[in-house]
Amino acid sequence: MSLQCCKKQLDPKEIVLKSIEAHGGINKWKSAKELSYVKTTILYDSLGRVEQKTIQTHKNIFGAKLTAEMKWIEDSISKIVLLKNDNISIYFNGVEQKELKLKEKYHSAITGANYVIWQPFKLLDEGLYLFYEGEDVVDNKNVYTVKVIYFKEDGSPDNIWWYYFDQRTYKLLSTMVHHGDTYSYIENTKYETVTGLSLNKERKSYRVDSLRNKKFLRADYFYKILEFN
């Protein structure tokens, strides 16, 4: 009899719930009304040279629908993106931008930022599919792996994520995402202690292959909580 047939199949949602408890608990998360933070992103090319550095200020207000604001300066242009009632408004140096491609780009950016800052809590969202992928070892720690598949409106697969949870503490250690033709592996190297929810404080993103073999460091991310209530 093979070992594979005897491998214990855990409930992926139970793993997620235990992780959320380890990160501060579902009640504390649901009671959040506002989160503001500064996010610094440093992008590198394959040779390790700095490609771009961006410092953004985010403000998220939680209600029936997310209200969010994202501000930064890029190439001497002051950029502001606002999300309210699922509508995106974009301003470059105070001038509203109405191009559809820009709206699509920044809608993805601002909702994606909210998704990342709330890992693993966003795994309670409706419309996603969780699969238990078994045990693994990442960064010399034993983990449970949960695969998450998101689908487009036409029903075809969109992004695929892998979440790696510490078997001992259930903290979220890292993730891998397959988007388009690329794979990225993101390590959570530090958690913040301001909110009581152990959100991301420092992360490293690597370009990897489908087996999680690192090719090069693609980005560093740093988060500073400004306000939480």
Give the predicted TM-score (pTM) of the model: 0.92
37-65: per-residue pLDDT in tens? 999 999 999 999 999 999 999 999 998 89
Share of the chain above pLDDT 90, in %: 87
Is 23 in contact with 171 (CB distance < 8 Å)?
A: yes
What span, in angstroms and rounded, lies between the C-alpha atoms of 1 and 151? 36
218 or 9: which leads in pLDDT: 218
215: its two tokens: 């090719």
Burial 201-214, CB ≥16 within 10 A → b, else e: bebebbbbeeeeee
75-130: per-residue pLDDT in tens? 999 999 999 999 999 999 999 999 999 999 999 999 999 999 999 999 999 888 99
167-178: per-residue pLDDT in tens? 999 999 999 999
Predicted confidence (pLDDT) at residue 1 exceeds the cutoff of 50: no
Lowest mean pLDDT segment, chosen from 52-56, 116-120, 150-154, 191-195: 150-154
Query: Predicted confidence band at 156 (pLDDT cuts at 50, 70, 90)?
Result: confident
Q: Give the pLDDT of residue 7.
A: 56
Domain regions of the chain by residue span: 16-228
So what's the architecture of 16-228 in CATH? Clam (2.50)
